[in-house]
Amino acid sequence: MRLDKTEISLGLVALACVLFGFVSPGWLIFLLTIALAKALVVQGVVMQMRSGLVSFGQGLFYCIGGYTVGMGGQFFGIHDAIAALSLGMLVAIVVAMLLGLLLTRYREIFFAMLSLAFSMILFGILVKSQELGSTDGFNVHDWTLFGWAPEAGAGSQHTVFTITVVSGLIVAVLIHRYTKAGVGVICEAVRENEVRVEYLGLSPRWLLYGNYVAAAAVSALGGGLTALATGHVDPEMAYWTTSGEFVFIALLGGLGHVAAPFIAAIVFSFVRTYAIEFVPHTWQMILGFTLLAVIIFLPKGLWSLVSREKTGERA
Amino acid sequence: MTCILETRSLNKEFGAVIAAKDLNVQINKGEVVGVIGSNGAGKTTFINMVTGYLKPTRGEILFNGRSIMGHSPRAITRAGMARSFQVAQLFPEMTVLDNLIVALAAAESARPSFLSPLRSDARIARAEEILKEFGVENYRDSLVTAVPQGARKLVDIAMALIGNPQMLLLDEPTSGVSMDEKTDLMDTVMNAVRQHGVTVLFVEHDMDVVERYVSRVLAFYSGEIIADGGPAAVLADQQVRDLVTGHRPSTKQGNGVS
């Protein structure tokens, strides 16, 4: 497998992150773990944005990934982190294959609202499920990695951070290849001109369907990692504000590069953390102004700062 | 001659408006057919029905002897009937080269790869050949929104031809193109069509273009075909002149008919 420049850069950054994990404080490791896990969900949102669809319900798969990891440990004795994460992705794929049959018939606001509706249906079901802790959710069972149990606290935190970084790297390389591959490019073509795609003998609907299912799997991985990192799942994961946060981060980063959602998620996490710290009653306003500034000054997201720099270098 | 496209009693009604009325058409393999008619005569409706864009109210459409009624545009395209559009249908945020590469990938398989790069060396080389064949190689790396209308039309037609169709339907290929460019554009298209051995049906308002390139003319008026025959005969027909063209045929009829 030949790696291109982007893939090598991603690998080096991932390695640097893992090494950084050994020297950085616990609070920062936790913040980065959650940010990177959410970035995976945002990757799912961005995959769909590239094909012209905005999902306001990606929290559905985030929640499915998280709850599958939680339920796997609590009820089915699946304690291995990789097995639990894989199961979460599998469940999300099955759900996406069913929902996608309906959702990919719709475009624009109809798709956005329907995706939100399914997410809220799951939220409603979870809130009414006493066995799953209702609005409080439940704790994730202690997990292992290929039979090895990391020590509780810092050891566990560092291990899940490393798993998240490695997962993020694998997903980023796959998405990078996907965006340059047939389905990835033609999904962008669907966004630009669905009629032409149809008259090239392709089915826009099935292309979007494949894209939707792949995005669901990636987002469920993010949910599963969040569950491992926080040790807790609750219905809030499927709530509309959570899905809105993923769209927020997607807009913040832009669609220009596979690294953009990771950068945006980290920036978002820091802005929110410090906003809550310094202005606890108006932190939402700070986030609002941040998004407003990005939309006005960087309409193609934070990544446009990097791409502008590159363009400048070439000039 | 073998019939490639046949419509039987094809009708299309939009509420009280009859856009197509009992259209019985037979197009033979190798023909170059011009469709003429004033605005609202039903020309584009006819093409849209045949290519699956519009569902006919009644009637039958046979392509190579098989019914394609109710088939999707992609199924009809895969069966071997391609089309271009009055307004070129391209991918505006992609370069001309990438537009062709997408068309090449689509022609190769109905199931594009998830991980193999779309921009392979082989596809780039083939796309560059097509750019030259259509004389638009200067726009290789331009966004399609930045190229002239004539070049855009050519890219649109090139994309339709990439799948090696048996029949090509062109909806006003020269509309929006300057008078000077029309002949060059049509020469380029007809050369490509001849090389691919494709049957052509095109809608056209410019009677000079019709006279120069077609072997047969269908004249539409108010959703009906009022004349069908060689260009000389149809364009000289009094009813066609009164209702469609108001045009006096030139003395060099038949020149350039392929």
> Do the domain assignments include residue A88?
yes
Which residues in A lie closer than 8 A to residue B114 (C-beta atoms)? Answer: 178, 181-184, 210, 214
Q: What is the pTM of this model?
A: 0.88
What ipTM describes this predicted complex?
Answer: 0.87
In whole angstroms, give the CA distance from residue A207 to residue A192: 14
User: What chain A residue is nearest to B106 in terms of C-alpha separation?
Assistant: A200
CB-closest option in A174, A182, A192 to B105: A182
> Do the domain assignments include residue A287?
no
> Do the domain assignments include residue A252?
no
Across A283-298, b (16+ Cβ under 10 Å) vs e yields: beebbeebbeebeeeb
> Do the domain assignments include residue A304?
no
Range of the domain at A155: 5-239
User: Given phi > 0 = left and psi -120 to 50 = alpha, else beta, which region is B142?
Assistant: beta
pLDDT > 90 fraction of chain A, expressed in percent and rounded? 70
Q: pLDDT confidence of B109, banded at 50, 70, 90?
A: confident
Contact by Cβ (8 Å): B69, B85 = no
- The whole-number pLDDT of residue B246 equals 64
Query: Hey, how many other C-beta atoms are within 10 angstroms of the C-beta on B234?
Result: 25
Question: What average pLDDT does the segment B196-204 reach?
Answer: 90
> Do the domain assignments include residue A308?
no
> Do the domain assignments include residue A268?
no
Indicate which of B44, B86, B89 best probes the interface with A, i.e. most A CBs within 10 Å of its own CB.
B89
- The whole-number pLDDT of residue A49 equals 95
Helix (H), strand (E) at residue B6: strand B3-14
- The whole-number pLDDT of residue B167 equals 94
Would the CB atoms of B102 and A186 count as touching at under 8 Å?
Answer: yes
Q: Are strands B199-203 and B3-14 parallel, antiparallel or unpaired?
A: unpaired
Which residues in B lie closer than 8 A to residue A214 (C-beta atoms)? Answer: 114
Would the CB atoms of A203 and B110 count as touching at under 8 Å?
Answer: yes
The answer on pLDDT for A312 being more than 60 is no
Chain A residues 181-210 within an 8 A CB cutoff of chain B: 181-186, 188-189, 192-193, 195-203, 207, 210
Q: What is the pLDDT of residues A177-216, one digit of tens each?
A: 999 888 888 999 999 999 999 999 999 999 999 999 999 9
> Do the domain assignments include residue A262?
no
Q: pLDDT confidence of A109, banded at 50, 70, 90?
A: very high
Q: What is the pLDDT of residues B65-103, one digit of tens each?
A: 999 998 999 999 999 999 998 888 999 999 999 999 999
Count structural domains, chain A: 1
- The whole-number pLDDT of residue B243 equals 78
Q: Which residue(s) pair with B8 in the sheet?
A: B60
In whole angstroms, give the CA distance from residue A167 to residue A144: 16
Q: Which domains does chain B have, with CATH numbers?
A: 1-80+165-248 (3.40.50.300), 89-164 (no CATH)
> Do the domain assignments include residue A28?
yes
Would the CB atoms of B112 and A177 count as touching at under 8 Å?
Answer: no
